[in-house]
């Protein structure tokens, strides 16, 4: 191993961290962690090996998010459509999540990280429900990074549930139709206490949202990696580079900069 090259890379990462830290940091980053299976298949490994390597990438991303003092990190871990995958892969994914929470919870708690879940716990294995609930209970009062795990989550389902609850409240005279505006509607979503994402990153080369935070991402900056950058090789440096690219973008929210034309 070329130790000189290794230490130079570490130094360069520290320089990049300082550069990124010196500019406005996104309050909320959402990530579609795509490509675990393709990473494994390219190495003639079972898909489950890709998911396990993806957990290693996740540790680095959480650590870097804490260093940057990011407020919210939302991770698309398992969608409502992922139930279509082979049963063996689903079992492995759930087991890996249970293992991660059991192993990492003490350190997450020590670092004031708060765990939250988006999605429907119904249908999840009981051991997964138990570990998720325990992680949320243990970290409930933590004031550091909020890690929101979207599991058995689908944005269309979330929106439909919100509409049903609003309709129920109208039928019970809790609301009137005139009360409904964007702010009120957002309070019926699972992200009611979370600001909309500033930046959404998707690894693996696909350029779509795949039913993730559709309502919340109206003005989110989107970043899609090249197809060679799969979630297991989404490194700390690539994460910092993604945030750095976000920092160079101009967010107008439908307006214009002073001096610009329409």
User: Angle CA(90)–CA(71)–CA(25) in degrees, nearest 5?
Assistant: 115
For residues 105 and 127, give the distance between their C-alpha atoms in angstroms, rounded to a whole number.
15
120 is catalytic: no
Q: Which residue in the list 8, 34, 169, 257 is annotated as catalytic?
A: 34
34 is catalytic: yes
- The conformation of residue 174, written as its DSSP 8-state character, comes to S
- The conformation of residue 23, written as its DSSP 8-state character, comes to S
**Residue 69 φ/ψ region, left for φ over 0, alpha for ψ in the -120 to 50 degree band, beta for the rest:** left
Q: List beta partners, residue 72.
A: 28, 146
Q: Where are the beta strands (DSSP E) in 42-154?
A: 72-79, 114-118, 146-153
What separation, in Å, do the N-terminal and C-terminal C-alpha atoms of the chain show?
55
Contact of 32 with 212, CB cutoff 8 Å: yes
For residues 116 and 8, give the distance between their C-alpha atoms in angstroms, rounded to a whole number.
37
Helix (H) or strand (E) holding 249: none
Helices (H) and strands (E) in the chain, counts: 8, 6
Q: Which residue in the list 12, 82, 134, 233 is annotated as catalytic?
A: 82
Residue 161 makes CB contacts below 8 A (sequence gap 6+) with 188
Query: Which residue's entry shows tokens 């439909």?
Result: 160
Catalytic residues: 34, 82
């Amino acid at each position: 191993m070329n130790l000189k090259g290794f230490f130079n890379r570490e130094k360069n990462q520290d320089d990049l961290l300082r550069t990124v830290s010196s500019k406005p940091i996104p309050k909320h980053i959402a990530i579609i962690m795509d490509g675990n299976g393709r990473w494994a298949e390219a190495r003639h490994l079972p898909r489950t090996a890709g998911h396990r390597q993806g957990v290693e990438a996740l540790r680095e991303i959480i650590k870097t998010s804490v260093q940057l003092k990011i407020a919210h990190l939302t991770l698309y871990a398992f969608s409502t459509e992922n139930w279509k995958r082979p049963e063996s892969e689903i079992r492995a994914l759930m087991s890996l999540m249970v293992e991660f929470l059991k192993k990492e919870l003490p350190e997450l708690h020590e670092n004031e990280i708060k765990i939250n879940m988006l999605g429907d716990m119904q249908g999840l294995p009981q051991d997964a429900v138990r570990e998720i609930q325990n992680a949320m209970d243990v970290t409930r009062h933590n004031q550091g990074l909020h890690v929101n795990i979207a599991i058995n989550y689908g944005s269309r389902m979330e929106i439909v549930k919100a509409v049903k609850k609003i309709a129920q409240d109208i039928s019970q005279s809790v609301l009137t139709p005139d009360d409904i505006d964007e702010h009120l509607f957002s309070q019926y979503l699972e992200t009611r206490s979370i600001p909309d994402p500033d930046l959404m990153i998707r690894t693996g080369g696909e350029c779509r949202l795949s039913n993730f935070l559709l309502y919340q991402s109206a003005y989110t900056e989107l970043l899609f990696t090249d197809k060679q950058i799969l979630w297991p090789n989404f490194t700390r440096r690539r994460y910092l580079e993604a945030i750095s690219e976000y920092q160079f973008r101009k967010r107008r929210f439908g307006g214009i900069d002073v001096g610009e034309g329409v």
